Amino acid sequence: MDPLYFDPRWLIVIASASLSFAVLSPMVAARKLYYFASSLPHAALFAVVLGYPLSVAFGGDPSIWALVVGVPLSYLVMYLVQRGIEEDIATAVFVSFTVSASVAAIYFVLTHYTVQTSLWSYILGDPLLVSWGDTVYSVVVMVVSLAITLPFYREQVLIGFDRDFVESSGIKTKLYDYLIITALTFASIGFLKIVGFVIEHVMLLLPASIALNMSRSSLQALGVAIAASVVASIAGLFLAIILDFAPSSAIGFILLAGYIISLTYGVKK
């Protein structure tokens, strides 16, 4: 790749993904949804793979079908929790199903269809291969994800700290449960092709981990998470272009370095 060549689409999709995950990350930490968030890339992979045969059978874009499949699937966890099953157990059931289903779906698609898009792009991620259609799609995913989470950041944090108090105040916590699950699933599926199955775990979890070491308040944590994610993503993109390196891997290493630095120079609790 020519290091002097730069396509604005690369920056747009990376910025969209990093901003979305950065806003979601502190909410994941506050709501203690680490296990569920780390399981979502499995569900996202299953949804995007299944979206291809659905688009062939019924028409439409595979990305839209992936959202149609993936978002309701994530509600399974909340349904099990509301039936009295512990959240960790419900998530374990969810992971077991989505991992098994992903393998089955990949095998089915590879053996029955001529796949026009490499499934490896969903595993490894590559923002350098996006089209303008992918770019617009990424911006839409970002806008939707932020619209259903950012205005309710305070409520999500409060629910995470003291759910009983929030419920006694008359706030419908179940609505916020579904909002954050919808946003997490929406972002995980929408950005899978850009950042990849593997690095999505990192981008969902590490910004908040860095913010917790560097912040004294929930609002400050949000700002630190956004700064860490966006800076790491843009720096990783340019580093990958210059060194002919995998962008997702570069982003992951930079976020990891940021976490190590935050451990050393973070706010003393």
In a domain, 214, yes or no: no
Give the pLDDT mean for 250-256.
94
Give the pLDDT mean for 224-242.
94
What pLDDT does 52 receive? Answer: 87
pLDDT band at 151 (very low <50, low <70, confident <90, very high): very high
In a domain, 205, yes or no: no
Give the pLDDT mean for 43-60.
90
CATH code of 108's domain: 1.10.3470.10
pLDDT band at 2 (very low <50, low <70, confident <90, very high): low
Longest dimension (CA), the chain: 59
- Looking at every residue in the chain, the average pLDDT score rounds to 89
Per-residue pLDDT at 4 exceeds 70: no
pLDDT band at 86 (very low <50, low <70, confident <90, very high): confident
- Ranking 83-92, 116-125, 226-235 by mean pLDDT, the lowest is 116-125
Question: Of 82, 58, 72, 44, which Cα lies nearest the Cα of 197?
Answer: 44
What pLDDT does 146 receive? Answer: 95
- 230 touches 18 (CB < 8 A): yes
In a domain, 221, yes or no: no
In a domain, 145, yes or no: yes
What pLDDT does 246 receive? Answer: 85
Which 3-state string (H, E, C) describes the chain?
CCCCCCCHHHHHHHHHHHHHHHHHHHHHHHCCCHHHHHHHHHHHHHHHHHHHHHHHHHCCCHHHHHHHHHHHHHHHHHHHHHCCCCHHHHHHHHHHHHHHHHHHHHHHHHHHCCCCCCCHHHHHCCHHHCCHHHHHHHHHHHHHHHHCCHHHHHHHHHHHHCHHHHHHCCCCHHHHHHHHHHHHHHHHHHCHHHHHHHHHHHHHHHHHHHHHHHCCCHHHHHHHHHHHHHHHHHHHHHHHHHHCCCHHHHHHHHHHHHHHHHHHHCCCC
In a domain, 262, yes or no: no
Give the pLDDT mean for 49-68.
88
With a CB cutoff of 8 Å and minimum separation 6, the contacts of 41 are 188, 192, 197, 198, 200, 201
Residue type, 97: F
Per-residue pLDDT at 96 exceeds 70: yes
What pLDDT does 84 receive? Answer: 86
Give the pLDDT mean for 161-167.
90
- 227 touches 210 (CB < 8 A): no
The whole model's pTM is what? 0.90
What is the number of other CB atoms lying within 10 angstroms of the CB of residue 89? 11
In a domain, 203, yes or no: no
In a domain, 79, yes or no: yes
Give the pLDDT mean for 48-72.
89
Number of domains, the chain: 1
In a domain, 222, yes or no: no
Question: Of 90, 79, 91, which Cα lies nearest the Cα of 39?
Answer: 91
Question: Percent of the chain at pLDDT above 90?
Answer: 51
End-to-end alpha carbon distance in the chain = 46
Query: How far is Cα 229 from Cα 20, in angstroms, rounded to an integer?
Result: 9
Task: Quote the domain boundaries for residue 84.
Answer: 8-198
Candidate ranges 4-18, 105-119, 191-205, 207-221; pick with highest mean pLDDT: 207-221
Query: How far is Cα 238 from Cα 245, in angstroms, rounded to an integer?
Result: 10
